[in-house]
Amino acid sequence: MSLNYIDDQHYEGINYMDQLFEKADYEDCTFTSCIFSNVNLSNINFTDCKFVDCDLSGVQINNTVFNHVSFKGCKLLGLAFDSCNDYMFAVSFEECQLDMSSFYKRILKKSGFTGCKLVGVDFTRADLQEAIFDRCDLKASIFENTNLNKTDFRTSFNLSMNPVANKMTGALFSKDNALGLLDSFKVIIE
């Protein structure tokens, strides 16, 4: 069954908890101040779309395509990005709250996370080569068997990871957040 094709549309202030969200292929669409909490967005394709000041907490995104999709000022709590379709997966986040979300095994090369809250996010086995974490709170985020080659963490904080359990050639850290690389070794620094 093919989906309807919708392009170049702007949706504003719609509460999709009360109104049905049409399953379609969306291209060059903008969603502003919309509420999607716990809505099923599975098997929908978003290409070159923008979500601005939206609440997408708890949405189901099984086999969803996010192809060059940007999120700005959005609440995305507990999203399983690892269940999305791999095809052309490319996302960026600015001033978003992504606590308890999962990017397990997700390819995020050169992705941007700017001013985001990423508490308890799972980046296990993700490919974050050359990604930029600018002013992000990474408290309790999980980096294990993650490719962090040339990843930029210089302005982020609450960073804790085991450098032995990750690929980190050329990764960038500030002097302050580099101390988080020692947490797994249980050393005392005074």
Please state the three-class secondary structure of 123-156 as a single string. CCCCECCCCEEECCECCCCECCCCECCCCECCCC
Q: Which of 114, 96, 97 is nearest to 156 (CA)?
A: 114
Q: How far, in Å, CA of 57 to CA of 39, rounded? A: 9
Q: Is the CA virtual torsion 166, 167, 169, 172 positive or negative? A: negative
| Residue 4: its H or E element | strand 4-7
E strands in 9-145: 10-12, 24-27, 30-32, 45-47, 50-52, 65-72, 90-94, 112-114, 132-134
Matching CATH number, 1-97, of 2.160.20.80, 3.10.450.50, 3.30.365.10, 2.60.120.10: 2.160.20.80
pLDDT surpassing 90 at residue 139: yes
**pLDDT tens for residues 48-96?**
999 999 999 999 999 999 999 999 999 999 999 999 999 899 999 999 9
- pTM value is 0.93
Q: Where do the structural domains in the chain lie, given as residue ranges? A: 1-97, 103-190
Select the more confidently predicted residue: 183 or 146.
146
Tokens of 78: 């507990």
CB-based contact 38:18 (threshold 8 Å): no
Whether the Cβ atoms of residue 82 and residue 62 lie closer than 8 Å to each other: no
Q: What are the tens digits of pLDDT across the range 13-43?
A: 999 999 999 999 999 999 999 999 999 999 9
- Determine which of 118-122, 170-174, 179-183 has the lowest per-residue pLDDT on average: 179-183
Q: How far apart are CA 103 and CA 83, in angstroms?
A: 9
Domain 103-190 fold: Pectate Lyase C-like (2.160.20)
42: exposed, middle or buried (Cβ count in 10 Å: 0-12, 13-18, 19+): middle
Residue 187 scores a pLDDT above 70:
no
Domains 1-97 and 103-190 share a fold: yes
Q: Report CA 25 to chain centroid distance, whole Å.
A: 21
Write down the pLDDT at residue 135.
Answer: 98
